Amino acid sequence: MNQTQEALERKVKRDRPAYFNGQSVEEDFPALSREVRPGVPLVYLDSAATSQKPEVVLETLDTFYRKHNANIHRGIHVLAEEATAAYESAREKVAAFINAPSSEQIVFTGNTTESINLIAQTWGRVNLKPGDRILLSEMEHHSNLIPWQLLASERDLELDFIPVTPQGTLDMDGFKKLLQNEPKLVGITHMSNVLGTINPVKEIIREAKGVGAVTLVDAAQSVPHFAVDVSSLKADFMAFSGHKMCGPSGIGILYGRRDLLEEMPPFMGGGEMIKKVELRSFTVNDLPHKFEAGTPPIAEAVGLGAAVDYLSELGMDDVAAHEKELITYALDRLDEVEGLTVFGREVEKKGGVASFTMEGIHPHDVAQILDHHGIAVRAGHHCAQPLHDKFGISATARASFYLYNTLDDIDRLVEGLYQVKDIFG
Ligand code: 7TS
Residue 143 has pLDDT above 80, yes or no: yes
d(CA 267, CA 291): 6
The mean pLDDT value for 214-225 works out to: 99
Q: Tell me which of 143, 191, 192, 355 to substitute to probe ligand 1's pocket, judged by most ligand atoms within 8 Å of the beta carbon.
A: 143
Give me the residues paired with residue 389 across strands: none
In contact, 46 and 377? CB cutoff 8 Å:
yes
Question: Which one, of 358, 279, 272, lies nearest residue 87 by Cα?
Answer: 272
- What is the per-residue pLDDT across 44-72, written as a single tens digit (0 to 9) for each? 999 999 999 999 999 999 999 999 999 99
Superfamily holding 315-423? Aspartate Aminotransferase, domain 1 (3.90.1150.10)
Label the pairing between strands 185-189 and 133-137: parallel
Going by CA atoms, what residue is nearest to atom 4 of ligand 1? 220
Ligand 1 geometric centre to CA of 111 (Å) = 9
Could you tell me which residues come within 8 angstroms of residue 126 by beta carbon, excluding any fewer than 6 positions away? 263, 264, 265
Q: What is the dihedral of CA 289, 292, 296, 298, to 10 degrees?
A: -40
- Catalytic positions: 383
**Residues whose beta carbon lies within 6 Å of some atom of ligand 1:** 48-49, 111-113, 141, 143-144, 189, 193, 218, 220-221, 241, 382-383
Label the pairing between strands 281-284 and 274-278: antiparallel
Going by CA atoms, what residue is nearest to atom 7 of ligand 1? 49
Task: Ligand 1, residue 143: give the atom nearest the CA.
Answer: 9
Label the pairing between strands 237-241 and 252-256: antiparallel
**How far does the chain reach from its first CA to its final CA, in angstroms?**
16
- What is the per-residue pLDDT across 290-301, written as a single tens digit (0 to 9) for each? 999 999 999 999
**pLDDT number for residue 10:** 39
**pLDDT number for residue 293:** 98
Give 414: exposed, middle or buried? Use CB within 10 Å, 0-12, 13-18, 19+: buried
What is the overall mean pLDDT for the chain? 95
Residue 321 has pLDDT above 70, yes or no: yes
The mean pLDDT value for 266-271 works out to: 97
**pLDDT number for residue 351:** 98
Q: What's 358-396 look like in SS3?
A: ECCECHHHHHHHHHHCCEECEEECCCCHHHHHHCCCCCE
With b for 16 or more beta-carbon neighbours within 10 A and e for fewer, the 83-102 pattern comes to: bbebbbebbebbbebbebee
Residue 15 has pLDDT above 70, yes or no: no
The mean pLDDT value for 140-153 works out to: 98
Is the fold of 78-312 the same as that of 315-423?
A: no
**pLDDT number for residue 1:** 45
**CA distances for 149 relative to 34, 64, 162, 192, 293, angstroms:** 42, 40, 16, 20, 25
Task: Ligand 1, residue 194: give the atom nearest the CA.
Answer: 19
Position 7 confidence tier, pLDDT thresholds 50, 70, 90: very low
Give residue limits of the domains in the chain.
78-312, 315-423
Ligand 1 geometric centre to CA of 172 (Å) = 24
Residue 13 has pLDDT above 50, yes or no: no
d(CA 211, CA 381): 33
**pLDDT number for residue 281:** 98
List the alpha helices (DSSP H) in 253-405.
258-263, 298-314, 316-335, 363-372, 385-390
Residue 365 has pLDDT above 70, yes or no: yes
Position 403 confidence tier, pLDDT thresholds 50, 70, 90: very high
The CATH number of the structural domain formed by 78-312 is: 3.40.640.10
Position 11 confidence tier, pLDDT thresholds 50, 70, 90: very low
Position 12 confidence tier, pLDDT thresholds 50, 70, 90: very low
The mean pLDDT value for 170-183 works out to: 98
The mean pLDDT value for 203-227 works out to: 98
Q: How far is CA 339 from the centre of its chain?
A: 30
User: Longest Cα pair distance anywhere in the chain, in angstroms?
Assistant: 77
Label the pairing between strands 214-218 and 237-241: parallel
- What is the per-residue pLDDT across 179-210, written as a single tens digit (0 to 9) for each? 999 999 999 999 999 999 999 999 999 999 99
Per DSSP, the three-state class of 298 is: helix
Going by CA atoms, what residue is nearest to atom 17 of ligand 1? 49
SS3 content of the chain, % helix, strand, coil (to 5): 45, 20, 35
Phi-psi region of 88 (alpha: psi -120 to 50; beta: other; left: phi over 0): alpha
The mean pLDDT value for 215-219 works out to: 99
Ligand 1 geometric centre to CA of 419 (Å) = 29
Q: What is the pTM of this model?
A: 0.96
Going by CA atoms, what residue is nearest to atom 16 of ligand 1? 49
**pLDDT number for residue 9:** 45
DSSP E strand boundaries for 2-156:
19-20, 23-24, 35-37, 40-41, 43-44, 106-109, 133-137
Position 21 confidence tier, pLDDT thresholds 50, 70, 90: confident
